[in-house]
Every structure is written in C-alpha cells, then in structure tokens.
Structure 1
Amino acid sequence: MESFVWDQAKQAGASLMRLEAWENTDAGITAGFTTRIGGVSTGCWSSLNMGLHVGDRNEDVVRNRQLLSEAIGWPFEAFTCAEQVHSDNVHIVTVDDMGKGRDSRHSALQDTDALITNVRGVLLASFYADCVPLYFYDPVHEAVGLAHAGWKGTAAEIACRTVEAMKKAFGTNPSQLRGAIGPAIGGCCYEVDGPVIGRMEELCSSFANLTAVDSMIRRTQDGKAMLDLKEINRQIMIKAGILPTHIEISTWCTSCRTDLLFSHRAEKGATGRMASWIGMEKR
C-alpha cells in the first residue's frame, strides 16, 4: 500500500501527496510531498516548482511555496529550509531559525542536508528531483526531522546522522522513532557506474540483511548497476535502530512519473524541484 497518498484535487492551487499514516494517527502532524502539478511556474519548471536554485523566477518559486503553506493551512512565516549540498550535516532548528530560506537562498540554513526540531509551529522543508526524502517523527519526545539523501548523502549515512542528532538533542529512542521514505527515483531507473557501485557495496556490507544486497545493487552486463536508493536508506534506518515496522516507504518513482513529478535524470537537468515537508502544530 502506498504511504504517500496523492490528492488529485488541487488544494489552494497545489496538488500534494500526504503521508496519511502519520497524519491520520496524530492530528497535530503535517507531513507530505509536493507534485509538479499546480503553482505558477512556466517552461521546464512547470508548474509547482519549489526550488530557488534551478533558474526559475524567484517570485514564482516563492508564490509556489506560499501555495503549499496555504494548502496545508500553515503560515508561510513557518516555512524553514536549508541550502542543500549533498552532505551529512544536520542542523537543529530553533525558534530563531523559523522562516529561514523561505524566500531566498541567502537566508537559508547553509551547507545542510538534514533538519531536526522540537519546536511546534516550525515547518521544515527540503527539495528533490530524484534524491530520496527521509522523514523522522518522535511521538514520545515530540520532535521531527527531514533529510535529503542523494547517493552521496546515502553513502555518508545521513539517516544515521539524523537519528544520532535527535538522540543527542531530544533524547530520542530509535526504537520509538517513526521513519518514512518518500517518492524518489527507483531501482527501475537509477543506473550508476563503477565508483558509485563500489561505495554502495561497501555500505551495504554493513547491513544485517546481506541477502538483500543483490536486489539493492543489480549488476548489468555493461559493468553498471541499477541502484535502489530507497531500500538502501530503509536499511540504514534499520541500522540506526528504527524498527522495520515503523518505516513507511513510497513506491512512487520520479523518473517513471514525469507527468506528476520532477526528475533531474529523466529530464536531463532541465526541471524543477518538489518539496518534502513536516511540522508539528502549535497547541
């Protein structure tokens, strides 16, 4: 069953995928993923582009982000994001950070690919066009997180770094933590070459379930491989202590569904970005 449920009816001009398993369990949580449908962007960024760094008009992107905020019923002032660099850097978002990056790259939290917070009323967001969105929710200590995992972030085990940061900052017990893996390029479409294969094989050798490695890295006859980044990140979450039964994983492939989602690889770089989001409402 798909964890990220697409609401085909645009709300406030934005067509969204909701992480219903979490939202239905806790009415105080909002979490999900945008599609490319809705918004005001034109050209190759049509039309709900969330990325300020892809050449789109700044004012159109800001308007699209406002439409997301309106669709989920949150103030745009809460929208908080980072300047992503494919690192494993984790930033603890405080009240003073709220709203950073919402309307400019300059004001974003710099050199960061994971955001965590226990501040209610802060909306965390990050951006994708094939990379893997990772979600974290600690219902016991009331904290949330997002991480952006391309192959480099995956190799650096950014999911583990995020869990470690939540343990240190909030007292999170990994066995009580909820994890989710959002829409991303699938193993059906993500072909990689030698250096990436070697790094991923090294990483996968640390997993408890070694029998699944061949399904995560499927070798092809030309010396390349099809890589299942979503499943690799699920295994990293398990390695970090999250229970397998506490992890949601999306089946949506960005490269297969360019009618619905942006894909950097399928569209040869000329495309927009989706946003993941998560936040805890103020009481």
Structure 2
Amino acid sequence: MESFKSILSAKGPSLFLLPTWMEQNEYLTAGFTSRNGGVSEEPWASLNVGLHVGDQDADVVRNRQLIAEAIDWPFEAWTCGEQVHGSDVFAVTEVERGMGRLSRASAIADTDALITNVPGVLLASFYADCVPLYFYDPEHQAVALAHAGWKGTVQQIAIRTIEAMEKQYGSKPEQIRCAIGPSIDDCCYEVDGFVIDKLQPLVQELANLVNSVPESMLTLVENGKAMVNLKQINRHIMLKAGILPIHIELSEWCTGCSSDQFFSHRKEGGKTGRMASWIGIRER
C-alpha cells in the first residue's frame, strides 16, 4: 500500500502527505510536493521549488509560499540547505530557522541532511529523481531529512543522519521511524560502469548483512549497464543502522514513470524543476 497519500488541489499545490506519521502526532507535518499547482512557466511548470534550475526566483519563492500556506505553516519556518550530493549532516537550531527560503545564498552551506528537535522549524530539501529520506523520533521529538542520490547513497547518508540524531538528541535506532519517498525506480534508472563500480561493493555488503539478494538492489543488463533501485539500497542501509523493518515506510511512486505528477531530471533531459520533501513539528 502506498505510504504517501495524494492530496489533489484545483487551485493550490497538489501534495503527497505521510498520513501514518501525521496521525500519530497531530503537531507533525511530513510530505512531498508534486509538479502541479504552482506559478512557474515551462519548462519548470508549475510547482518548481528549486532556485538553482534557471526559473524566476520570484516564482520559486511564491511556489514555496503556496506550499507553506497549504500545510498551514508560516513561510518563515521553511529551512533548507545547499545540497552538494554529499553526506554531511547539519543540526538546525532556532538560529538557522528560515535559512535558504528566499535565496540560495542564505541556505545552510554544503549539506544534504538536516536534523532538528526545535518545534516550529520546517525542514525542506529538493529532488528530481533522487531519493528523499525522512526520519522521526517520537521519543525525543526530533525529525530529519536526507537527500540521497547515488553519491549520497554510496556514502550511506542514511546512517550518517541516524548517527547524528543519536549524538545530538539521544535517539535510538530501534525507536526511529523512517520513510523513503517518491523517487526514480529501477524501471527507469539505468547506470553505466562507473556508477556500477561505486555501488556494487555496498550492494553486496548490504545483501550479506540482511540476508537479501543483490538483484533486489542492482541488476546487470546488456552493454555493461545496470538497473538500480536506490530506494531498496537505502532501505537496506536503514536496516544496517538498526532501524526496525516495521518502522520503514516505502513509497511506490516512480518519478520517471509519472511525469504528469513529478519532475524527472533523467526523463526530461535535465531541463526541469524540483520537488520538495518537508518535515516539521509545530509549536504546541
């Protein structure tokens, strides 16, 4: 069953919510944006939230504001980093609240994962095929987002994020809830030998650790290529970190297959917009 519930809107942004978490905590919001219901023009039509893709900054900011309005959060809470396909994790405090919402220059530098336990901070990160990872510790009321392309996956950014939550907030892996959001699936994600060489050792290690088969994560095909399932690789990394299988939500949405719903860097030749993941716990 799909973990992310589609919320269609005729006049505002169409969104995907994570209801299992939101039903457990009425103060928590978590979800993923679609490509629909914004103000951007082609080729970023219409709910582009990326300031780095050539779109008009004013349109991007307006789209971000529309999303904040739709989930009933103040736009001043929107906090994001300048993603670099790395594995650095940043602990957001009240001081950084709102950084990056209006410009790239004001974003938290060089970070692909954000964690916080500050109520009223809304974490956001950006995607057009890469894997959005969500983390929620109900015991310590801490949340996190991580951006996992193939590079971040190889660097096991999920483990880095969980370790940072343990260090900063005392989170325990067996208590942390994780979710893997809409992203490109192995049906659409073909890679060459360079990426295969980077991924194969990790895939084999993970398969051995959790008694799985490598083909569930990476399947070799003709001409030295491979079809890669980054969602499953990240799920296995979460299991390696000690996350319980029943605490992992996995979206079935493929951004490559569903171009009517999502931007896809690969399917659209790189000239496209970005979706956002978000998570936050509002002040009581």
Shorter-chain TM band: over 0.9
Gaps of 5+ in 2: none
State the alpha-carbon separation in 1 of the partners of residues 243 and 255 from structure 2.
Answer: 25
Q: Which residue of 1 aligns with 2:111?
A: 112
State the alpha-carbon separation in 2 of the partners of residues 223 and 209 from structure 1.
Answer: 27
State the alpha-carbon separation in 2 of the partners of residues 210 and 162 from structure 1.
Answer: 24
Q: Which residue of 2 aligns with 1:70?
A: 69
Are 2:279 and 1:278 aligned?
yes
State the alpha-carbon separation in 2 of the partners of residues 3 and 215 from structure 1.
Answer: 20
Q: Which residue of 2 aligns with 1:227?
A: 228
* Shift, 1:205, TM fit: 2.2
* Shift, 1:67, TM fit: 0.3
- The structure whose residues are more often strand, as a share, is 1
Q: Which residue of 1 aligns with 2:81?
A: 82
State the alpha-carbon separation in 2 of the partners of residues 9 and 80 from structure 1.
Answer: 24
Q: In the alignment, is the contact (CA less than 8 A) between 1:84 and 1:112 conserved in 2?
A: yes
The Cα offsets for residues 117-162 of structure 1, whole Å up to 9 and x where unpaired, read as 0000000000000000000000001100000000000000000000
1:138-217 alignment to 2 at 5 Å? Answer: 138-207=137-206, 208-217=209-218
Comparing 243-252 and 193-202, the one that deviates more: 193-202
**Partner SS for 1:43:** coil
Runs of 4+ in 1 over 3 A off after TM superposition: none
State the alpha-carbon separation in 2 of the partners of residues 164 and 72 from structure 1.
Answer: 29
* Shift, 1:214, TM fit: 1.2
* Shift, 1:221, TM fit: 1.6
State the alpha-carbon separation in 1 of the partners of residues 168 and 204 from structure 2.
Answer: 29
* Shift, 1:82, TM fit: 0.4
Identity %: 61
**Partner SS for 2:132:** strand
* Shift, 1:209, TM fit: 2.8
The Cα offsets for residues 82-139 of structure 1, whole Å up to 9 and x where unpaired, read as 0000000000000000000000000000000000000000000000000000000000
Q: In the alignment, is the contact (CA less than 8 A) between 1:204 and 1:210 conserved in 2?
A: no
Q: Which residue of 2 aligns with 1:37?
A: 36
Which residue identity does 2:276 align to in structure 1? A
State the alpha-carbon separation in 2 of the partners of residues 30 and 20 from structure 1.
Answer: 9
The Cα offsets for residues 235-280 of structure 1, whole Å up to 9 and x where unpaired, read as 0011111101100000000010111100000000010000000000
Q: In the alignment, is the contact (CA less than 8 A) between 2:216 and 2:232 conserved in 1?
A: no
State the alpha-carbon separation in 1 of the partners of residues 211 and 269 from structure 2.
Answer: 34
Which residue identity does 1:280 align to in structure 2? I
**Partner SS for 2:85:** coil
Are 2:15 and 1:5 aligned?
no
Q: Which residue of 1 aligns with 2:47?
A: 48
Which residue identity does 2:8 align to in structure 1? Q
